[in-house]
Amino acid sequence: MPAKATLLILLLLAFTSKGCIFSKRSKTRIHRSDDECVCATPIRYNPLTDTNITVDPHCDCRSTGFGIVQIIPYGTCIADACGTIHIDLSSACVRCAMCMAIAEKALYGMILIGGIGVTAGAHRLWTHKAYKAKWQLRIILVVLYASTGMNDIFEWVRDHRVHHKYTDTDADPHNSNRGFFFSHVGWLMMKKHPDVIRKGRHVDMSDILADPIAAFSVKYFLILKIIFTFLLPVMLPVYGWNETWYRAFVSQIILRYVLLLNFIWCVNSVAHIWGSRPYDAHINPTENQWVNFVAAGEGSHNYHHVFPWDYKTSEFCNSTTTDFINFFAKIGWAYDLKEPSQELVKIVAIKKGDGSHPLWNAMPYPAS
């Protein structure tokens, strides 16, 4: 059962059925006041083995970090020696459900903020200069980006600028014409093609070096990576909701880190192979809604390669990253947001698209 549904049911029962107990044999609900129970030793009933186990009546609220309660599976059924099962929902057991929900939200939240560090920071701000950011926002983005554990900002921006200039050629660091595995992660496991190195040397990176905050993050990249990728994500569950060190490591390093990297890499692989091409039918990048979901709004990749300066990276404002930038634009920390006119997008889609645009389903422009 999803954490939200579990928490809702437990909270509802806590307020409406306090003191509610169940008959172990009939499994029917009955009500009895606390003073009617004459049993002294509380035991937990295990519905899988149909056995009672003597337990401490207080719940251990540690979660696994995966949305599963460690000590109290399948509910918090505390049975007494009379065979009556007490459902204690008023205090500790509700906290167990809350721990379960918190663990899931924390895992998702850590993946999301790392993703925004890439999408709003390294990608839209520093690579494409699709908007400008004040120093306060740039510091936030550097910290969020550092939590991803990816290459430093200088290397990330350089590779991505080369990727856009020489898309799906030998000079593209993650050329999708070399297959899914190569464009997804293989390019990070192999020596770079000579064309990638040669073209990369001619990319103008003076703006990154001129930004003191970006330059600081490059200079102290290893320290920032250790702190924000490994130390803080593990310490947060341990000191935030009494998680074990082992489970915090598994959930935040093995699970969060691996998922985050693969979600971002899907932009280079999945969004260059599968999907529609409503803005330019003659390039590999596609529109892929699955990637749009897992990569915080980077799945409109066909659009992005046609209009790389658009801060939304999509014709439609439908991503978490765009909402993030819009929020800081409202408080003045983000400004000079760039985007093409609707008329320009329409003309390009009609002339070059594959006819799959939801508004302008015109026949694609014939290839010359």
Q: Give 311-351 pLDDT, tens digit per residue.
A: 999 988 778 999 999 999 999 999 999 999 999 999 999 99
| Predicted pLDDT at 216 | 96
| Mean pLDDT of all residues belonging to the chain | 78
| Predicted pLDDT at 311 | 95
What's the first-to-final CA gap in the chain, in angstroms?
55
Domain ranges of the chain: 100-352
Q: What is the DSSP letter of 63?
A: B
Distances, alpha carbon 224 to alpha carbons 144, 145, 221, 335, in Å: 10, 10, 5, 27
Burial class (CB in 10 A: 0-12, 13-18, 19+), 363: exposed
Burial class (CB in 10 A: 0-12, 13-18, 19+), 70: middle
Q: Give 204-248 pLDDT, tens digit per residue.
A: 999 999 999 999 999 999 999 999 999 998 998 888 888 889 988
Q: Which of 34-38, 136-140, 274-278 has the lowest mean pLDDT?
A: 34-38
336 vs 297, more confident: 336
